[in-house]
Structure 1
Amino acid sequence: MPEPATQTEYWNSDVGERWVTMQAELDRVFAPLTAALLDAASLRSGERMLDIGCGCGETALLAAERLGAGGAVTALDVSRPMLARARARPATGAPITWIEADAQIHAFAPGHDLALSRFGVMFFEESRAAFANIRQALRPGGRLVVLCWRALTENEWVSLPRDAVLGVVPAPEPPPPGGPGPFRFADGAALAELLAQAGFTGAAVAPVDRAIAIGDDIGAATRFAVTVGPVAGLLRELDDPALRERAVAAVRAAMPAEGPVRLGAACWLATAFNPG
């Protein structure tokens, strides 16, 4: 995982391109989690919504359908290739404005009814300042609804292939505590406290657990596991093709043998409100 100062560079590198290539597959895999997020958001016709870290656009597009033509969505991300994919996808319902920007410092227009994010808030350099900036974009009483990963060890869809790879290659240095990364908010109580420090009220954090299908068979599941996410990062560091081949074979061998590969995913669903 990159250092905080390189997040924009990181998501505009081949990593962003890889997520674009896998867009349809990622949306399918994460669909049960996306549905949980959107249901919790209780979107109402005509509302104005922010999508923080919108990626290739799935959450913004689905929200726009629920908000209807009288609503409005502003979706932003730092990744140019992912935004290009988002802009190219067909949209219905509320108009969507796509913005290449960093939510930590972007000068948002005020008055939004809610800010929503699916796996987009864990990569901030300064999380408290970022959440405070997002809060200022909300109307009084406006709500924040975010989905983020719990601990790596609780997320079988990552830990199973990662453990397999670490049987072949050395373990990486652990990320600095509190630094950007997919499991930045593994501690739900700390996340709730952070939201309070950013000026939100009524912060609540609830677990969301789903089995997600990472592939229709072992081959598809292995491809998914080694193409995106933490395991892909481990393999990207390997210069030895033979070692990489052994690592991929280890991932394949670790997958369940029959039918679609379903593994556990564990998230926090955090909600909070702008005072007023």
Structure 2
Amino acid sequence: MPDPMPQTEYWNGEVGERWARLQDALDAAFTPLTTALIRAAALRPGERVLDVGCGCGETTLIAAEAVAPGGFVTGLDLSRPMLARARARAPRAAPVAWVAADAQTHALAPVHDAVISRFGVMFFEDSRAAFANLRRSLKTGGRLAFLCWQSLAANPWVVVPREAALRVVPPPEPPVPGAPGPFRFGEAGLLAGLLAQAGFTAVNEAAVTCGISLGRDVAQAARFALSVGPVAALVRELDEAQRARALEAVTAALPQETPVVLGAACWLVTAINPG
């Protein structure tokens, strides 16, 4: 079983560049989940917010609108390609700053009213240290709100194309237990103890399920499915002919409808810094 690639290297290589190119499609697919996150964060005008794993900046910019006037949002991410995309799309007058840093080690001043994250917390190399660092970045009474995926089995938007691709491509190496990855916190209740150890209180873990659109038609949806997450990892090293067979298998397996919608399941987690 190979050692996992360091996250800084992973998100600053081909994966980060690909996710930057897919920004529009990813943000469109995750729209209902983003809405749930921003609602749970309960952001108010004048607040200071830290967006962890901000990627290409969608949640940062939405948060900036929510805290105007007088508020400010810092978008923090390891990925320089994704932060470059965030900077390029941000309005000139937006009250935001973009920081390329690791949330588990970066020195964060305790000035934030809220910390938010849309699918960023699963990739910490030391989750306990990272959550403790994020708690220290919050004012007393400050709020944490983040989304992470439930188990792979609970997410048909990944399972359906993955199973189709596995009919024609080699199976992956088994994941390293506890290693960074999208479904790391899939088990219910796993985060409650971890956040308590990091010093948070009032931890709440709510299930959020919805359909997400993979594309306006099956051809677009199949290309999207082969470009993100565990399915992309399956085909990354394939030659052109093998990728074509995988694309054909995924296209046949997806719902033949417009738009192509499959189920997604997340945990929406909130907590408080007691000071």
Structures share a fold, TM > 0.5?
A: yes
What is the rounded CA distance, in whole Å, between the counterparts of 2:104 and 2:67 in structure 1? Answer: 25
Q: Who is 2:105 aligned against?
A: 105
Q: Who is 1:253 aligned against?
A: 252
Q: Deviations over 1:47-97 (max 9, x none)?
A: 110000000000000010011030011111000010001011133876101
Shift of 1:273: 0.7
Q: How does 1:78-117 map to 2 (within 5 A)?
A: 78-91=78-91, 95-117=95-117
**Structure 1 residues 4, 109: CA separation in 2 closer, same or farther (over 3 Å shift)?**
farther
2:158 pairs with 1:162: no
Q: Who is 2:75 aligned against?
A: 75
TM-score normalised by the chain length of structure 1: 0.96
What is the rounded CA distance, in whole Å, between the counterparts of 1:248 and 1:151 in structure 2? Answer: 24
Q: Who is 2:38 aligned against?
A: 38
What is the rounded CA distance, in whole Å, between the counterparts of 1:263 and 1:5 in structure 2? Answer: 30
What is the rounded CA distance, in whole Å, between the counterparts of 2:98 and 2:18 in structure 1? Answer: 20
Residue 112 of structure 1 contacts residue 138 of structure 1 at CA under 8 Å; is this kept in 2? yes
What is the rounded CA distance, in whole Å, between the counterparts of 1:233 and 1:27 in structure 2? Answer: 20
Q: How does 1:141-220 map to 2 (within 5 A)?
A: 141-220=141-220
What secondary structure is seen at the aligned counterpart in 2 of 1:186?
coil
- Backbone CA RMSD of aligned residues: 1.4
Shift of 1:229: 1.5
Q: Which ranges of structure 2 fall in alignment gaps of 5 or more residues? A: none
Shift of 1:259: 1.7
What is the rounded CA distance, in whole Å, between the counterparts of 1:67 and 1:206 in structure 2? Answer: 24
Q: Who is 1:136 aligned against?
A: 136
Q: How many residues get paired?
A: 274
Residue 157 of structure 2 contacts residue 263 of structure 2 at CA under 8 Å; is this kept in 1? yes
**Structure 1 residues 5, 25: CA separation in 2 closer, same or farther (over 3 Å shift)?**
closer
**Structure 1 residues 242, 5: CA separation in 2 closer, same or farther (over 3 Å shift)?**
closer
What is the rounded CA distance, in whole Å, between the counterparts of 1:122 and 1:85 in structure 2? Answer: 22
**Structure 1 residues 3, 266: CA separation in 2 closer, same or farther (over 3 Å shift)?**
farther
- Aligned AA (1:166): L
What is the rounded CA distance, in whole Å, between the counterparts of 2:123 and 2:57 in structure 1? Answer: 18
**Structure 1 residues 44, 63: CA separation in 2 closer, same or farther (over 3 Å shift)?**
same
- Aligned AA (2:195): L
Q: How does 1:46-65 map to 2 (within 5 A)?
A: 46-65=46-65
Residue 123 of structure 2 contacts residue 182 of structure 2 at CA under 8 Å; is this kept in 1? yes
- Aligned AA (1:161): P
What is the rounded CA distance, in whole Å, between the counterparts of 2:147 and 2:80 in structure 1? Answer: 22
Runs of 4+ in 1 over 4 A off after TM superposition: 2-5
What secondary structure is seen at the aligned counterpart in 2 of 1:164?
helix
What is the rounded CA distance, in whole Å, between the counterparts of 1:234 and 1:106 in structure 2? Answer: 32
Percent identity over the alignment is 63
- Aligned AA (2:257): E
Q: Deviations over 1:25-55 (max 9, x none)?
A: 1111111100000011111111110000000
**Structure 1 residues 51, 59: CA separation in 2 closer, same or farther (over 3 Å shift)?**
same
Shift of 1:110: 1.0
Shift of 1:230: 1.1
Shift of 1:241: 2.6
Residue 68 of structure 1 contacts residue 94 of structure 1 at CA under 8 Å; is this kept in 2? no
